[in-house]
Amino acid sequence: MNDTGDEAQLLDMIERWTERELKPIVREYDHADRYPDHIVEQMKELGLFGATVSTEYGGLGLPASTYAKIVMTISSVWMSITGIFNSHLMLALAIEKFGTPEQKKQWLPKIASGEIRGGLALTEPDAGTDLQGIRMTARRDGDDYVINGTKMWITNGAEGSCFAMLVKTNPEANPRHSGLSLFITPKKEGFTVGRKLKKLGYKAIDTAELVFENYRVPKDNLIGGIEGQGFYQTTGGLELGRINVAARGVGIAEGALRLATQYAQVRKTFGKPICEHQAIQLKLGEMATRARAARLLTLDAAASFDRGERCDMEAGMAKYFASEAALENSIEGMRIHGAYGYSQEYDIERLYRDAPLTCIGEGTNEMQRIIISKNWIKRNPVA
């Protein structure tokens, strides 16, 4: 979608949808931690489960820049539900970017339509940022692989039906990353959902433990058909994942700014709206600048991704800055609301609970700064 008119029309439709369908229910569903089944059906109709999937396979074929703007718009109202289709699109990306022609033909049309919903399963109880430390194994047995192990913190784990699963096909490999492989793993015998994990925020979306006990999967489900490519395939998709998390951060930062701006104009102290007090003006000025800078960094990373460039540094910068902007704007917005900001009757408290996830997901911000630094030095060698 290169036509700016088409993009504007799509974004307008998404914004009207968030106003009409999300705003009236978000507080109720968040506080009850209730999965929004009817919203998922609407997202299918909007094409969000195929947003970045090529039109060849029934998707919308959106560039990352447009997709990021969609995520920003939705996240400014309800960040959680963006996880339902984002993790799902990471599954789609892994298959479309690295899968065999047969795998693409078999899986992508159903993934794009939302008939199959799922995600990317990397994290384990003792392995998060260090992907090479995973313990889940896949042992070749004739024309099948037998998988054993546990995944943790998997988005769509309970409600999803298929996942891109990172496993060890060669536990003795040196270097360790050369022993990792990525499989398409639909739910069936040997694949059970453990517990749904309770969280501070990011509610109304399932985050679960997945347990594999002698789970058999055909060798044809090995993404790309060659063992040992899993680490490369996984990290090759993290750039888009980090752009998505950055876009979520932008949405939260802008949502907090909007709520604080509205409240500051109607709440009065000492005979005038609090937005006329210098202390509040200083906060709003900083919040507006952070939100704007976060948006520009995220769109810069998305544009680099759309050009087909390696953008570890740009995506890392966007994810790091936008998530910190979300955290800072949410707490400043809460302070502007005063005591009401601590009440569940106001939406700012939800943004405050959701924001910390963006600083952790898709690689911690500490790791992002290391990635940024290493790439910066690599691009600026001493002459």
Structural contact between residues 356 and 315, judged by C-beta atoms closer than 8 angstroms: no
> What span, in angstroms and rounded, lies between the C-alpha atoms of 191 and 310?
35
Q: Which of 167, 200, 203 is nearest to 183 (CA)?
A: 167
Beta-strand runs (E) in the chain: 118-121, 137-141, 144-155, 162-168, 180-186, 191-196, 207-218, 268-269, 272-273
Place of tokens 């919203």: 39
Cβ-Cβ contacts under 8 Å for 241 (sequence gap 6 or more): 86, 90, 120, 362
Structural contact between residues 10 and 66, judged by C-beta atoms closer than 8 angstroms: yes
Task: Decide if 362 is catalytic.
Answer: yes
User: Burial level of 21, CB count in 10 A (0-12/13-18/19+)?
Assistant: middle
Please state the separation of Cα 366 from the chain's center in Å. Answer: 18
> What span, in angstroms and rounded, lies between the C-alpha atoms of 206 and 37?
12
- Which residues are 5's β-sheet partners? none
Q: What is the DSSP letter of 118?
A: E
Of the candidates 124, 324, 362, 366, the residue annotated as catalytic is 362
Torsion angle of the four alpha carbons 94, 98, 104, 107, in this order, in degrees rounded to the nearest 10: -30
Instruction: Kindly report the number of other CB atoms within 10 A of residue 317's CB atom.
Output: 23
The structure tokens listed for 273 are 């709206």
**Total residues belonging to the chain:** 383
Q: CA triplet 335, 257, 201: central angle to 5 degrees?
A: 70
Residues annotated catalytic, as ranges: 362
